Structure 1
Amino acid sequence: MAMTVLALLWLLLPSQDGRTSLVDATVWVLAGAEGRGTGWVCNRERRWIVTNYHVVGDANEIDLIFPEFRDGKLVTDRESYVRDFNRLRRRFRLIRRHLTRDLASIEAQTLPDQAKSLGLAASTYPGQAVCLVGNRRDLDTLWNFNRGKVRQSFHSKEGIPWRTDRLAKGCRLLAIDSLVHEGDSGGPVVNDRHEVVGVVSAVLFQAQQITAAIELDELRAFLEEPLNKTPPEKREPTPYEKALRSVILVESQSSRHRATGIIVNAQRKIAVTTLSAVGSNDRVLSMFPRWDKQIVLPDIAAYVRQPRVSAVVMAKDSRRNLALVQLGSISTDATSVDLVDQPARTGESLHAIGNPNGIEALWLYSAVHVRQTGKVVLSSKKEDGSAEVLILQSPAAGNDSGGPIVNTRGELVAIASGKEGPESQVAYALGLAEIQAFLREHRWVIEPKVAESYVRRMERFRRVHWWNEAANEAKEAIRIDPKHAATWQLLPELTLQSGNKSEALALAKKALEILPPRLQSGPLMTLARIRLLESNSSAAGEHIQSILLLDPKCAPAFVLRAALHRLAVRVDLAMKDADEAIWLAPNAAEGFAERSLIHVARKDYDRALDDVNRAIELDPYNPALWESRAALQLVRGEKGKSSDDKKAAEELRKANQIR
């Protein structure tokens, strides 16, 4: 508390090295009957004052009131200024106003002797400490100070609604975590050297009431000052900058909300996010920050056309609200996050990075503080139990979760859960011990060492049609255990699906040598598929017969025999085998997919569509199914739906071809 008071006193008073007092540079702006706001002196020699366009609006009468001092003390009582309004107000000349920048400049006829001007900063950055001064209408005082930090700068495509117009449309804005109110508009946002980095403009209510300020370069352009082209001053990297290269954006098909993730092993391309972020999906999309000369690009527009990286959900933990994902590829700029050695303490100041929804920017910084530690239920199911958390003083998350909470060294202390308290500015983050335990429990994902770990990874990749990755994991399992039966049953098929027919043929023959007869259905199935691809129906039929002798209830064998019958125009026999396959394996997509083709052969397109819809529900990552449905919809005259499914199939094929 003492440090806070000292900091505010430092801002109020001139410093010994000549820096101006912030309050001496500010004015109260009264425009017409309604316009009330703040302004500041940007050029004492020219008597120029800057405020917002929406403060002065189209008013014909604008008055300026400067702070008054009595016995060396600042008068803050609003009523005192109202009583002495006629004595204190000063005349002006409106020089210029700019709707799209929400700025206006005023030339005062005279300035009080104590009035100082504020210079412009060279640059600003996320995490920078700033101070604001304003004259909010709901308080009985003027020249009210507030502190905060820059969360991000961004280009606002939509702007800010005002009357029938939109302010700052196409303008660069600063997002600041300091709350403002009507009357603060037009006030300066300054750094610790009293240099202006922005001008308070509005509150972004759709973005969890983030304060928006007109950004530095927009202010320079408005004042017709040359843009600063000198490189930013050298300084120590901020916690935000230290941690950002470990952060990713996470998107899922089941939600329009964006979320955040953290790279925990860059070498193996492993990241952690929340279960809320991935939902019920087995695969999600991810994206890395883009950089320009070591500065992150924050604008959403810069990422619209950026290809997303597919990621497989490897593990889920509902109690901790965590998920582990395997990225298909990783940016060359990406690094692994370091975990802190000791948990955070009550009262400790920390730093967060996230992607809250409702704002046209990514990679937002937040200053957070540990209010307490405790246990909270993070799962949607109370029976899952509680998890150890940090209770944080934090800006609203905007449906974001999964972002890192780091210390001043950029080390991971906690993970934002997305769960917020009943009151504003309270959030819960999963604690260090829970994160460490989660990573230990899923060491098989991050650092597989035994054959079974590689097999588990193989199964995850197989489920989402990452055939190359699945085959590679199977080979690693066999390298550790050359006679691992479960892997030999699947490796030939995985290799065939990855597009290497000759290798698949050789592996199938080798598997038949290694496996006992009762376990040979897998490689025999691969041989049957290869012969069917070669139009050798006779050989394919022999292999299918061998499989059914080994396992009379092998559903995939019935599916393949149904395909043989269909190709030979034995439609009734094909339907019988397809029905049998579905009876044996009602949750397998391939039986429904084959029966759909049989319905097409019978020109029963309605039933064909029903079956292919069910197949897609069961195997949504199979592009061939989407292509089949596209063809059916085209036959039915549904061109729009057909086009959408073709596009989905193309996107799946690209995503399945892992870099």
Structure 2
Amino acid sequence: MAATTAVLKDGSRISGPAPAVSRPVGKALLPFALIGLAALAGCSTTSTTNDMITVDRAQGSEENISSLSSVIQSNPQDPQGYNNRGTAYGRAGDFRRALDDFSRAIQINPQFYQAYANRALVYRNMGKPVDAANDYNRALQINPNYDVAYIGRGNIYRQAGRLNEAFNDFSRAIELGTTDGRAWHNRGLINQARGDHGKAIDDFAKAISLSPNSAEPYNGRGVSYLAMNDLDNAFADFNHAIELNDKLAESWTNQALVYEARGDRARAYRSFSHAVRLDPQYKPAQDGSARTRGNA
């Protein structure tokens, strides 16, 4: 039976044999400082590649929940039934009911490590990282080879600024042979934050090979190219990110920074302005637009 996967950005998944769902690698916010008129330096990443569940209200439809509840009623001691319904509730954004179902699954089978990881994912979305970390730890105690839990816990560590522990978790998932591109993407973000752009580019390239239709690793790799003053490759990556998803303010901002570095401030302003329209709160776009205003 196929495993269900519902995601937060960069790392965790709701898993279990239920209808399959899509898994974006995750959104990466990639601002960096422009130094001088044509030189870019001091690249830094403030990625919010979190584990944010993409809400799909249809998962919580009366028809879908009724069908899953019927399975539970026919076999109330099967923990997988609760795990499946919890997955549907989680995907629908009904986190309280999702928690109840995952907790019931764990109560029936305390060794159900996937349910621990699923509950951790919901805790992440509820803003409870400590509870999420505890559940990921428990999942890994039961199954030390569970890549999903390493990726999820790694995200918690990374967002807490515990980069060494996050790096180790992502690396462990990779050692285990994960095919989840977010492990490589997230490790690339850490390498990037450390200024090791060569290794970051390698990690982003692997993430791209695993998730070729995701814009975020192209943005990530482009930032590292830009930090190495490789404007052509950076520009190509940012443009491809826009082709894949033209709704990301980060991609347009990054493209604008290359235009600015090349001295084309008119095009830079247009791209910065478009990024502001997409996300009025995105400060790198605001700053860039203000910096190049009057050059349209």
Residue 108 of structure 2 is aligned to residue 480 of structure 1: no
Q: 1:579: Cα distance to partner?
A: 0.8
In structure 1, the partner of 2:66 is 443
Structure 2 residue ranges without an equivalent (≥5): 1-54, 73-80, 258-267, 284-296
Residue 211 of structure 2 is aligned to residue 579 of structure 1: no
SS in 2 for 1:586: coil
Point out which structure has higher relative CO (alpha carbons under 8 A, 6+ apart). 2
Aligned partner (choices 631, 634, 642) of residue 253 of structure 2: 631
Pick closer, same or farther for the CA change 1:447–1:457 going to 2, 3 Å: farther
Contact 1:599 1:607 in 2 (8 A): no
Amino acid at match of 1:628: E
Q: 1:481: Cα distance to partner?
A: 0.9
In structure 2, the partner of 1:562 is 188
SS in 2 for 1:499: coil
Contact 2:201 2:224 in 1 (8 A): yes
Q: 1:578: Cα distance to partner?
A: 0.8
SS in 2 for 1:481: helix
Aligned partner (choices 74, 87, 101) of residue 455 of structure 1: 87
CA deviation digits over 1:1-22, x for unaligned, max 9? xxxxxxxxxxxxxxxxxxxxxx
Contact 1:559 1:577 in 2 (8 A): yes
Q: 1:592: Cα distance to partner?
A: 3.4
Pick closer, same or farther for the CA change 1:588–1:506 going to 2, 3 Å: same
Amino acid at match of 1:479: S
Aligned partner (choices 267, 270, 276) of residue 643 of structure 1: 276
Amino acid at match of 1:453: R
Residue 169 of structure 2 is aligned to residue 543 of structure 1: yes
Pick closer, same or farther for the CA change 1:506–1:648 going to 2, 3 Å: same
In 2, Cα distance between equivalents of 1:444 and 1:648: 42
Aligned partner (choices 212, 234, 238) of residue 609 of structure 1: 238
Number of residue pairs aligned between Structure 1 and Structure 2 = 202
CA deviation digits over 1:59-83, x for unaligned, max 9? xxxxxxxxxxxxxxxxxxxxxxxxx
Aligned partner (choices 107, 129, 144) of residue 517 of structure 1: 144
In 1, Cα distance between equivalents of 2:237 and 2:95: 32
In 1, Cα distance between equivalents of 2:58 and 2:162: 39
Q: 1:645: Cα distance to partner?
A: 1.2
Pick closer, same or farther for the CA change 1:648–1:534 going to 2, 3 Å: closer
SS in 2 for 1:569: coil
Indicate the percent of aligned positions where both proteins have the same amino acid: 12
Contact 2:136 2:153 in 1 (8 A): yes
SS in 1 for 2:127: coil
Pick closer, same or farther for the CA change 1:313–1:529 going to 2, 3 Å: closer
Q: 1:648: Cα distance to partner?
A: 9.0
Q: 1:509: Cα distance to partner?
A: 1.7
In 1, Cα distance between equivalents of 2:139 and 2:86: 18
In 2, Cα distance between equivalents of 1:553 and 1:312: 24
Q: 1:566: Cα distance to partner?
A: 0.9
Q: Which has the higher strand share?
A: 1
Residue 61 of structure 2 is aligned to residue 314 of structure 1: no
SS in 2 for 1:610: helix
Pick closer, same or farther for the CA change 1:584–1:312 going to 2, 3 Å: closer
Amino acid at match of 2:245: I
Q: 1:583: Cα distance to partner?
A: 1.0
In 2, Cα distance between equivalents of 1:447 and 1:552: 34
State how 1:308-457 maps to structure 2 within 5 Å.
312-314=56-58, 443-444=66-67, 450-451=81-82, 452-457=84-89
- Normalised by the length of structure 1, the TM-score is 0.27
Contact 2:238 2:254 in 1 (8 A): yes
In 2, Cα distance between equivalents of 1:578 and 1:491: 29
In 2, Cα distance between equivalents of 1:502 and 1:570: 30
Pick closer, same or farther for the CA change 1:454–1:492 going to 2, 3 Å: closer
Pick closer, same or farther for the CA change 1:537–1:647 going to 2, 3 Å: closer
Q: Which has the larger radius of gyration?
A: 1
Structure 1 residue ranges without an equivalent (≥5): 1-310, 316-324, 327-438, 462-468, 621-625, 651-659
Aligned partner (choices 531, 539, 542) of residue 157 of structure 2: 531
